[in-house]
Amino acid sequence: MKGALRPALGAAALALALTAAPAFAQDKPAQIKIGITTFLSGPASVFGVPGKAAAEMIAEDINKKGGIGGVPVALTFVDEGAGGEALVSNYRRMVQDEKVDATFAAISSGSCTQLVPIAEDLKVMNFMWDCGAASILEARKHRYNFRTQANATPEMLAVLVYLLKTKPDFKTIAVVNQDYAWGRESWEIFSTALKAMKPDVKVVAELFPKFGAPDFSTEISRLMALKPDVVLTTSWGGDLDTLVRQAGQRGLLQQTTFVLGIGESSMQRLGADLPEGLIVGARGDHWFLHPERKNDAAFKAFNDAFKAKTGAWPIYPVYHMYQAFSALQASYDKAIKANGGKWPTREQVIDAAGGTEFQTWGRPVTLRADDNQGLEAQIVGVTKSAPGYDFKVLDNMMVFDAKPITTPGGQKSIEWLKTLTPDFAKMNVPTFKHGQ
Amino acid sequence: MDSTIFILALLDGVSYAALVFLVSVGLSLIFSVLRIVNVAHGSLYAYGAYVAATLSLAVAPISPWLTFPALLVASVAVGVVVGGVMERFLLRPVYGREDVLQLLITFAVFMIMDNLQRLIWGVQPIFASTPLKLLPNVSVLGVSYTSYQVILLPAVALLTVLGLRYFLRHTLAGAVILAVTEDREAATAIGVDARRVFLVTFMIGASLAALGGALASPTTSLVPGMGADMIVLSFAVAATAGLGQIEGAAVTALMIGIARAFVIYLQPEFEVLVPYLIMVLVLLIRPMGLFGVDKVRKI
Q: What is the 3-state secondary structure (H, E, C) of chain B?
A: CCHHHHHHHHHHHHHHHHHHHHHHHHHHHHHHHHCCCCCCHHHHHHHHHHHHHHHHHHHCCCCHHHHHHHHHHHHHHHHHHHHHHHHHHHHHHHCCCCHHHHHHHHHHHHHHHHHHHHHHHCCCCECCCHHHHHCCEEEECCEEEEHHHHHHHHHHHHHHHHHHHHHHHHCHHHHHHHHHHHCHHHHHHCCCCHHHHHHHHHHHHHHHHHHHHHHHCCCCCECCCHHHHHHHHHHHHHHHHCCCCHHHHHHHHHHHHHHHHHHHHHCHHHCCCHHHHHHHHHHHHCCCCCCCCCCCCCC
Closest chain B residue to the Cα of A251, Cα to Cα: B144
What are the CA-CA distances from residue B177 to residues A58, B180, B191 (Å)?
60, 5, 13
Residues A57 and A158 in one domain: no
Nearest CB among A215, A224, A273 relative to B16 is that of A215
Residues A353 and A403 in one domain: no
Is B144 in contact with A45 (Cβ distance < 8 A)? no
Give me the pLDDT at residue A82, please. Answer: 82
Nearest CB among A43, A207, A251 relative to B268 is that of A207
The CATH number of the domain holding residue A125 is 3.40.50.2300
In a domain, A21, yes or no: no
In a domain, A125, yes or no: yes
Give me the pLDDT at residue B133, please. Answer: 92
Nearest CB among A217, A222, A269 relative to B15 is that of A217
Domain that holds residue A102: 32-150+294-372
- Give the ipTM of the model, two decimals please: 0.82
Residue A8 has pLDDT above 80, yes or no: no
Is A238 in contact with B264 (Cβ distance < 8 A)? no
Of B287 and A233, which is predicted with more confidence?
A: A233
Give me the pLDDT at residue B269, please. Answer: 84
Residue A340 has pLDDT above 50, yes or no: yes
Is the minimum CB–CB distance between B171 and chain A shorter than 8 Å?
A: no
Mutate to test the interface with A, among B22, B135, B220, B267 (most CBs of A within 10 A): B220
Of A214 and A80, which is predicted with more confidence?
A: A80
pLDDT one-digit tens code per residue, B229-288: 788 888 889 889 887 788 889 999 999 999 999 998 888 888 888 888 999 998 899 888
Q: Is the dihedral of CA B246, B251, B257, B263 positive or negative?
A: negative
Q: Which residues of B touch A208 (CB under 8 A)?
A: 268-269, 271-272
Residues A324 and A265 in one domain: no
Of B8 and A302, which is predicted with more confidence?
A: A302
Nearest CB among A221, A225, A237 relative to B125 is that of A237
In a domain, B293, yes or no: no
Is B268 in contact with A42 (Cβ distance < 8 A)? no
Residues A223 and A312 in one domain: no
Measured in angstroms, the CA of B190 and the nearest CA of chain A are apart by 46
Maximum mean pLDDT: which of A4-18, A208-222, A274-288, B102-116:
A274-288
Residue A88 has pLDDT above 50, yes or no: yes
pLDDT band at A2 (very low <50, low <70, confident <90, very high): very low
Is A42 in contact with B224 (Cβ distance < 8 A)? yes
Residues A124 and A78 in one domain: yes
**Among A323-332, A382-391, B1-10, B244-253, whose mean pLDDT is lowest?**
B1-10
Give me the pLDDT at residue A22, please. Answer: 41
Residue A23 has pLDDT above 50, yes or no: no
Residues A136 and A164 in one domain: no
Dihedral angle computed from the Cα positions of residues B49, B53, B56 and B60, in that order, rounded to the nearest 10 degrees? 150
In a domain, A2, yes or no: no
In a domain, A5, yes or no: no
Is A217 in contact with B16 (Cβ distance < 8 A)? yes
Is B221 in contact with A238 (Cβ distance < 8 A)? yes
The whole-angstrom separation of Cα A399 and Cα A291 is 9
pLDDT one-digit tens code per residue, A238-286: 889 989 999 999 999 999 999 999 999 999 999 999 999 999 999 999 9
Residues A138 and A58 in one domain: yes
Measured in angstroms, the CA of A241 and the nearest CA of chain B are apart by 6
CA A42 to chain centre: 19
Mutate to test the interface with B, among A40, A215, A216, A218 (most CBs of B within 10 A): A218
Residues A272 and A185 in one domain: yes
Q: How many residues would you count in chain B? A: 299
In a domain, A216, yes or no: yes
Give me the pLDDT at residue A81, please. Answer: 86
Domain that holds residue B7: 3-285
In a domain, A26, yes or no: no
Is B11 in contact with A225 (Cβ distance < 8 A)? no
Domain count, chain A: 2
Give me the pLDDT at residue B294, please. Answer: 63
In a domain, B295, yes or no: no
Measured in angstroms, the CA of B288 and the nearest CA of chain A are apart by 28
Give me the pLDDT at residue B273, please. Answer: 87
Is B229 in contact with A237 (Cβ distance < 8 A)? no
Quote the mean pLDDT of chain B: 91
Q: Which residues of B touch A214 (CB under 8 A)?
A: 216, 219-221, 226, 229-230
Residue A404 has pLDDT above 80, yes or no: yes
In a domain, A288, yes or no: no
In a domain, B63, yes or no: yes
Residue A126 has pLDDT above 50, yes or no: yes
Q: Which residues of B touch A51 (CB under 8 A)?
A: none
Is A217 in contact with B12 (Cβ distance < 8 A)? yes
What are the CA-CA distances from residue B28 to residues A200, B159, B233, B246, B298 (Å)?
52, 17, 13, 7, 11
pLDDT band at A180 (very low <50, low <70, confident <90, very high): confident
Measured in angstroms, the CA of B244 and the nearest CA of chain A are apart by 26
The CATH number of the domain holding residue B147 is 1.10.3470
Residue A24 has pLDDT above 60, yes or no: no
DSSP bridge pairs for B139: B144
Residues A237 and A331 in one domain: no
Residue A430 has pLDDT above 80, yes or no: yes
pLDDT band at A4 (very low <50, low <70, confident <90, very high): very low
* pLDDT cut 70: percent of chain A above it: 94
* Tens of pLDDT, residue by residue, chain B (299 residues): 578 888 999 999 999 999 999 999 999 999 888 888 899 999 999 999 999 999 999 999 999 999 999 999 999 999 999 999 999 999 999 888 888 898 999 999 999 998 899 899 988 889 899 999 999 999 998 899 999 999 999 999 999 999 999 999 899 999 999 898 888 889 999 989 999 999 999 999 999 999 999 999 999 889 888 888 788 888 889 889 887 788 889 999 999 999 999 998 888 888 888 888 999 998 899 888 888 776 555 45
CA A398 to chain centre: 18
How large is the average pLDDT for residues A389-407?
98
Residue A1 has pLDDT above 50, yes or no: no
Nearest CB among B4, B225, B272 relative to A225 is that of B4
Residues A197 and A317 in one domain: no
Domain count, chain B: 1
In a domain, B247, yes or no: yes
Is B220 in contact with A210 (Cβ distance < 8 A)? no
In a domain, A3, yes or no: no
